[in-house]
Chain A
Amino acid sequence: MDFTLSLADREVVDLVKRLAQTELAPRAAAVDAGQFPLEGLKILAQHGLMGIKVAKSYGGLGAGLVAHVAAIRELAAVCPSTAVTLAVTNMVADMIEKFGSDAQKQRYLPPIFDGTYPAASFALSETGAGSDAASLRTRAVKVDGGWQITGSKMWITSGDRAGVVLVMAKTDPDKGARGITAFLVEPGTPGFEVGRHEEKLGLRGSSTVSLHFSEMFVPESAQLGALGQGFEVAMVALDGGRCGIGAQALGMGYAVLAETAKALNQRATLDKQLGLDQNAQFRLADMATKLDAAWLLVLRAAWLRDAGKKMTREAAMAKVMATEAGDAACKLALQILGPAALDARHPVARALRDVRVSRIYEGTSEIQRLVIARSLAASVA
């Protein structure tokens, strides 16, 4: 048993740490103020970080999910908006590598990896279907030479910036989850329209929009994977994605842990009396312990995926525990630091805003618990 990262994984993490400090940190405040992190993303792409798990032969880094989550954690510690944009782009690249045809890989992977595309998007959620992906209403109707897609997608990360959007649509409404198919859609396609830009609590530098498709024609070659395989594509993507979101929340959690530790040490120096802040120290211990516990769950799920094992339950555990630990750490840090951290630009205040959505997107905490509970019930029957 070995809890340390491999040398190759460590190299990825060191690269990300360096880029985060030199490239992202100076821009993080502007990004938080709402600026899309275009330059940062391009630099990260040029270092191979939009295809961390994609094979080197396609231009990726050829690493595994363990390296991916470790990289996301480092990015999120510095600029969560950049981290989430990169994570979603990676997810789409992974699905193209895993389910795509050679032609699709050749068409989409190079521009994702060289930074020509600022990002890629994953369009699953709708107004009436978030966690319950099987009840999608976006339809793809077979027409001569391709498909006509009609419907609306909500809360799409980078939906207005993406060079390619992975869209989930119903191809057979009678078949429930098995009637869903995945398509790769380009934004210039007639009938593709970007709707409302969400004004968000956090992750303000990442872009979140609705997408509307009205009788949008896509050729047969746009279909990703087999007919009816869309739900499987979505679930595979989300199992990996959930580990990434967990890592992202923990990146913020560990960042505020460090802020808190520094502040407490300064206070101790001022007071010349350690122990005066025992309550704060105890909260610090709770933060550190729960962050580590959750980080180990994230690493376990990622390791299982890399070992080719099923990890749906473990990914759900990782996500719910990591996002709740990250969120709790931010709240505790704010309480310990007091008024100073109430400034909206303070790193802890920013983390508190940025971390909150991680308990919601890519499957709410409630959905993760349901996934876990169903898997437990199945183990008894």
Chain B
Amino acid sequence: MDLQLTETQEMIQETARSFAEKELLPAAHDTDKLGQFPRDKVKKLCDLGFFGMAVPEEFGGAGLDNLSYAIAMEEISRGCASTGVIMSVNNSLVCDPILKFGNTAQKKKFLGQLAPGKVLGCFALSEPGSGSDAAGMRTTAIRDGDHYVVNGTKNWITNGKEADFCVLIVHTNPAERHKGISALVVDRRESPYGIGKVEDKLGIKGSSTTSLVFENCRVPVENLLGKEGDGFKVAMSTLDGGRIGIASQALGIARAAFDEALRYSRERQAFGKYIGDFGAIQEMLADMACELDAARLLIWRAAVAKDSGEKFGKLSAMAKLYASEASARITHKALQIHGGYGYVKEYNAERHMRDARITEIYEGTSEIQRLVVARETLMELGA
């Protein structure tokens, strides 16, 4: 039992925290209001190595562990939730599967560009008619010589507008369900595909969410990750890791909301005393603080398990389930503590609440996390 961060992990935390406070917190309000992709912030974070954190240095990454990544995600998302998800997708959903399932040539070619942030990546699994039920997808990639010909539409793609690379999950053998699914890396510059509708969202408005339209899009066969039929495994394993990132994002948003609510409770007076000295507000703040710490420990435990090469699917599902729902509760209470000020856009409380909401949905809804946790728990204890 040792919960001490290493010097490197502390340094990452400090770097991320100071970047968030100097660069992100002051800009987050406008990023949300204008719905503007935070291009210069993303550039600076890429220069810090934050877009390929767990990728080894030989492939252009920062060569850090997943715990460092989780710590950085919390701090960056505390500064700006939109920037957080943009960073999370590139790390967890794009670099991670290429690192885990790619061959050396693919790692050199793709990670060499993605990990240092020369280009941005996105991950395409969901479709208009399939989300949680991933195997129900309809996009196909049919072999034609040394290319796959891709047809179909992907939905809810974070970074869809800005990304040059797409980790794309498709049916290469539509006759089979799970077993006919494969993963391709698509370089949009050499295999052009269309950007469909850009979604107008409740929160994380600085990140783009689009559909991707593939019409006879030709992708070289050498861009296949693993073998044909590995795609479902690639997708599920990628999401296991991605959940650590999203849980950290949820935690960061919740911390931003909590920090402001706590400060406000020591400034605002009612009936002759600080509102933070009333039992009702104290109870809310205490519960928020407990849930923040509990969420962080669940996240760190999952990240450490991933770093040690242990099974971590249940742990990351628990972390994401707990952190995202805690974030919803915490941001809700933070708005309540601010009273009327919490409801207007001049303050940040309403943005935090809007930003937190998606974390209960993407990269596996809370319902999917519960299925994962229940299944694993029944296997462990139910015998």
Taking beta carbons and an 8 Å cutoff, which residues of A are in contact with B?
A: 1-6, 9, 66, 257-258, 261-262, 264-265, 268, 281-282, 284-286, 288-290, 292-294, 296-297, 299-300, 302-304, 306-307, 314, 317, 320-321, 366, 368-370, 372-374, 376-377, 379-381
Q: How far is the CA of A174 from the CA of B367 in the complex (A)?
A: 58
Residues on A with C-beta less than 8 A from B263 are 380
A296 contacts B381, C-beta separation under 8 Å:
no
- B138-146, B284-292, B329-337: which lies at the A interface? B284-292
B133 at the interface (CB under 8 A from A): no
Known A288-B318, A377-B266, A380-B266; contact A303-B1, beta-carbon cutoff 8 A: yes
A373 contacts B298, C-beta separation under 8 Å:
no
Q: How far is the CA of A304 from the CA of B304 in the complex (A)?
A: 19
The distance from the CB of A354 to the nearest CB of chain B, in whole angstroms, is 20
Q: How far is the CA of A304 from the CA of B4 in the complex (A)?
A: 10
Q: How far is the CA of A268 from the CA of B266 in the complex (A)?
A: 53
B101 at the interface (CB under 8 A from A): no
Residue of A whose beta carbon sits closest to that of B375: A281
B349 at the interface (CB under 8 A from A): no
Task: Give me 10 A-to-B residue pairs in the complex whose CB atoms sit less than 8 angstroms apart, sorted by A's number.
Answer: A268-B378, A281-B378, A282-B367, A288-B374, A292-B298, A292-B318, A293-B298, A297-B294, A370-B279, A376-B285
B322 at the interface (CB under 8 A from A): yes
Q: How far is the CA of A300 from the CA of B297 in the complex (A)?
A: 9
Residue of B whose beta carbon sits closest to that of A288: B377
Q: 7 closest A-B pairs (Cβ-Cβ)?
A: A373-B282, A265-B382, A296-B297, A261-B381, A285-B373, A369-B286, A281-B374
A381 contacts B266, C-beta separation under 8 Å:
yes
Q: How far is the CA of A63 from the CA of B367 in the complex (A)?
A: 41
Residues on B with C-beta less than 8 A from A320 are 286, 290
Taking beta carbons and an 8 Å cutoff, which residues of B are in contact with A?
A: 1-6, 9, 67, 262-263, 265-266, 276-277, 279, 282-283, 285-287, 289-290, 293-295, 297-298, 300-301, 304, 318, 321-322, 367, 369-375, 377-378, 380-383
Q: Chain B's interface: helix, strand, loop or mixed, by majority?
A: helix
Q: How far is the CA of A368 from the CA of B289 in the complex (A)?
A: 12
The distance from the CB of A174 to the nearest CB of chain B, in whole angstroms, is 26
Other than the given A281-B378, A293-B322, 7 more pairs (CB < 8 A) read A1-B300, A2-B304, A284-B377, A285-B377, A296-B298, A300-B293, A317-B294
B374 contacts A1, C-beta separation under 8 Å:
no
Residues on B with C-beta less than 8 A from A257 are 377, 381
A294 contacts B294, C-beta separation under 8 Å:
yes
Q: Which of the residues A261, A285, A294, A297 comes within 8 Å of B370, measured between beta carbons?
A: A285
Q: Which of the residues A1, A300, A307 comes within 8 Å of B304, measured between beta carbons?
A: A1
Q: Which of the residues B3, B285, B367, B373 comes within 8 Å of A373, measured between beta carbons?
A: B285
Residues on A with C-beta less than 8 A from B304 are 1-3
The distance from the CB of A351 to the nearest CB of chain B, in whole angstroms, is 15
Q: How far is the CA of A297 from the CA of B370 in the complex (A)?
A: 21
Q: Which of the residues A262, A300, A374 comes within 8 Å of B3, measured between beta carbons?
A: A300
A296 contacts B286, C-beta separation under 8 Å:
no
The distance from the CB of B277 to the nearest CB of chain A, in whole angstroms, is 8
Q: How far is the CA of A320 from the CA of B285 in the complex (A)?
A: 13
Known A285-B377, A369-B282, A373-B286; contact A303-B382, beta-carbon cutoff 8 A: no
A265 contacts B2, C-beta separation under 8 Å:
no
Residue of B whose beta carbon sits closest to that of A369: B286
Which of A258, A262, A376 has its CB near the most chain B CB atoms (within 10 A)?
A376
Q: How far is the CA of A265 from the CA of B375 in the complex (A)?
A: 10
Which of B287, B293, B321 has its CB near the most chain A CB atoms (within 10 A)?
B293
Q: Chain A's interface: helix, strand, loop or mixed, by majority?
A: helix
Residues on A with C-beta less than 8 A from B265 are 377
Which of A261, A264, A366 has its CB near the most chain B CB atoms (within 10 A)?
A261
A2 contacts B318, C-beta separation under 8 Å:
no
Residue of B whose beta carbon sits closest to that of A67: B1
The distance from the CB of B31 to the nearest CB of chain A, in whole angstroms, is 27
B294 contacts A321, C-beta separation under 8 Å:
yes
Residues on A with C-beta less than 8 A from B286 are 320, 368-370, 372-373, 376
B374 contacts A285, C-beta separation under 8 Å:
yes
Residue of A whose beta carbon sits closest to that of B6: A1
A3 contacts B262, C-beta separation under 8 Å:
no
Residues on A with C-beta less than 8 A from B293 are 297, 300, 314, 317
Residues on B with C-beta less than 8 A from A370 are 279, 282, 286
B370 contacts A286, C-beta separation under 8 Å:
yes
Which of A268, A292, A304 has its CB near the most chain B CB atoms (within 10 A)?
A292
Q: How far is the CA of A380 from the CA of B277 in the complex (A)?
A: 13
Residues on B with C-beta less than 8 A from A314 are 293
Q: Which of the residues B4, B301, B377, B383 comes within 8 Å of A296, measured between beta carbons?
A: B301
Q: How far is the CA of A281 from the CA of B377 in the complex (A)?
A: 9
A380 contacts B262, C-beta separation under 8 Å:
yes
Q: How far is the CA of A296 from the CA of B300 in the complex (A)?
A: 10
A1 contacts B5, C-beta separation under 8 Å:
yes
B370 contacts A1, C-beta separation under 8 Å:
no
Q: How far is the CA of A306 from the CA of B287 in the complex (A)?
A: 25
B374 contacts A284, C-beta separation under 8 Å:
yes
Residue of B whose beta carbon sits closest to that of A286: B370
Q: How far is the CA of A303 from the CA of B277 in the complex (A)?
A: 30
A6 contacts B373, C-beta separation under 8 Å:
no
The distance from the CB of B17 to the nearest CB of chain A, in whole angstroms, is 16
Q: How far is the CA of A369 from the CA of B278 in the complex (A)?
A: 12
Residue of A whose beta carbon sits closest to that of B5: A1
Residues on B with C-beta less than 8 A from A66 are 1
Q: How far is the CA of A66 from the CA of B369 in the complex (A)?
A: 29
B1 contacts A285, C-beta separation under 8 Å:
no
Which of B263, B318, B382 has its CB near the most chain A CB atoms (within 10 A)?
B382
Q: How far is the CA of A49 from the CA of B72 in the complex (A)?
A: 42
B294 contacts A369, C-beta separation under 8 Å:
no
Q: How far is the CA of A299 from the CA of B2 in the complex (A)?
A: 10
Q: How far is the CA of A294 from the CA of B4 in the complex (A)?
A: 19
Known A1-B4, A2-B1, A317-B290; contact A282-B282, beta-carbon cutoff 8 A: no
The distance from the CB of A262 to the nearest CB of chain B, in whole angstroms, is 6
Residues on B with C-beta less than 8 A from A5 are 1
B321 contacts A317, C-beta separation under 8 Å:
no
Residues on B with C-beta less than 8 A from A268 are 378
Q: How far is the CA of A5 from the CA of B377 in the complex (A)?
A: 21
Q: How far is the CA of A307 from the CA of B1 in the complex (A)?
A: 11
Residue of A whose beta carbon sits closest to that of B263: A380
B300 contacts A372, C-beta separation under 8 Å:
no
The distance from the CB of A306 to the nearest CB of chain B, in whole angstroms, is 8
Residues on B with C-beta less than 8 A from A290 are 322
Residue of B whose beta carbon sits closest to that of A381: B266
B381 contacts A262, C-beta separation under 8 Å:
yes
A317 contacts B289, C-beta separation under 8 Å:
yes
The distance from the CB of A289 to the nearest CB of chain B, in whole angstroms, is 5
B301 contacts A3, C-beta separation under 8 Å:
yes
The distance from the CB of B382 to the nearest CB of chain A, in whole angstroms, is 3
A369 contacts B283, C-beta separation under 8 Å:
yes
B374 contacts A282, C-beta separation under 8 Å:
yes
The distance from the CB of B54 to the nearest CB of chain A, in whole angstroms, is 15
